[in-house]
């Protein structure tokens, strides 16, 4: 794994030298629209120095622990106290995601809200629709009982309704 990183480090260093003196920014100067262009960045020497010291210190400490085994990983772990446990637990983000977000919010609040909507809105609507279908079935059962008198009465009622509709629409009663 070290060899590919070393191979990739060479073009990275060359690319860094390419921009010394603004070579890269001069190359892409006209490529950006006006609203995305800005001036040269402000570089603060103190911040750069502190970050470089910290980076090289971390690299040196990692190399000493990995290659020289001094101090041992156990000694470093003991000196850091609870910090390795927090980092190994990934800052407890998995615990927070599983317990707070999934169990409390999704399984608790949202599941309860969905249950209330299902019980009091959806079930009510389905029950009311089923009740209306049952009542319509009861009414149709009385009509379709096989009695000729019932059929004749419905036929006569339909004729009367048709005559009234034709009379109302044909005479223009609704237009007055």
Confidence (pLDDT) at 158: 94
In a domain, 161, yes or no: yes
- Compute how many other C-beta atoms are within 10 angstroms of the C-beta atom of residue 76: 13
Confidence (pLDDT) at 176: 62
Query: Looking up tokens 């390795």, which residue turns up?
Result: 84
Q: Which long-range contacts (CB under 8 A, 24 or more apart) does 40-43 make?
A: none
Residues 111 and 166 in one domain: yes
Confidence (pLDDT) at 70: 77
Confidence (pLDDT) at 174: 67
Measured over the CA atoms of residue 81, residue 87, residue 89 and residue 94, the dihedral's sign is: positive
Average pLDDT of the residues of the chain: 86
- The CA-based angle 118-120-123, given to 5 degrees, is 60
Confidence (pLDDT) at 59: 93
For residue 43 the two structure tokens come to: 């570089």
Query: Looking up tokens 């290659």, which residue turns up?
Result: 67
Confidence (pLDDT) at 40: 67
Residues 84 and 99 in one domain: no
Q: Domain of 56? A: 43-88
The total number of residues written for the chain in this structure: 176
Query: Looking up tokens 């690319």, which residue turns up?
Result: 15
Residues 113 and 165 in one domain: yes
User: In 64-147, where does DSSP find H-type helix?
Assistant: 73-80, 83-88, 93-95, 111-117, 123-143
Confidence (pLDDT) at 154: 86
Residues of the chain with pLDDT below 70 are: 39-40, 173-174, 176
Whether the model pTM is above 0.85: no
* Number of domains, the chain: 2
Residues 82 and 145 in one domain: no
Measured in Å, how far apart are the chain's first and last C-alpha atoms? 94
């Amino acid at each position: 794994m070290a060899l590919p990183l070393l191979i990739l480090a060479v073009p990275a260093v060359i690319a860094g030298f390419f921009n010394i003196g603004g070579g890269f920014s001069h190359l892409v100067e006209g490529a950006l629209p006006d609203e995305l262009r800005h001036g040269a960045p402000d570089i603060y020497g103190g911040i750069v120095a502190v970050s470089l010291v910290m980076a090289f210190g971390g690299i040196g400490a990692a190399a000493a622990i990995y290659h020289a085994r001094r101090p041992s990983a156990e000694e470093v772990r003991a000196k850091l106290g609870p910090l390795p446990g927090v980092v190994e637990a990934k800052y407890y983000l998995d615990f927070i995601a599983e317990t707070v977000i999934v169990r409390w919010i999704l399984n608790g609040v949202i599941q309860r809200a969905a249950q209330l909507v299902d019980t009091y809105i959806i079930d009510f609507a389905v029950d009311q629709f089923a009740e209306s279908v049952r009542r319509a079935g009861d009414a149709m059962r009385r009509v379709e009982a096989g009695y000729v008198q019932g059929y004749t009465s419905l036929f006569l009622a339909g004729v009367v309704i048709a005559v009234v509709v034709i009379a109302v629409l044909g005479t223009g009663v609704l237009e007055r």
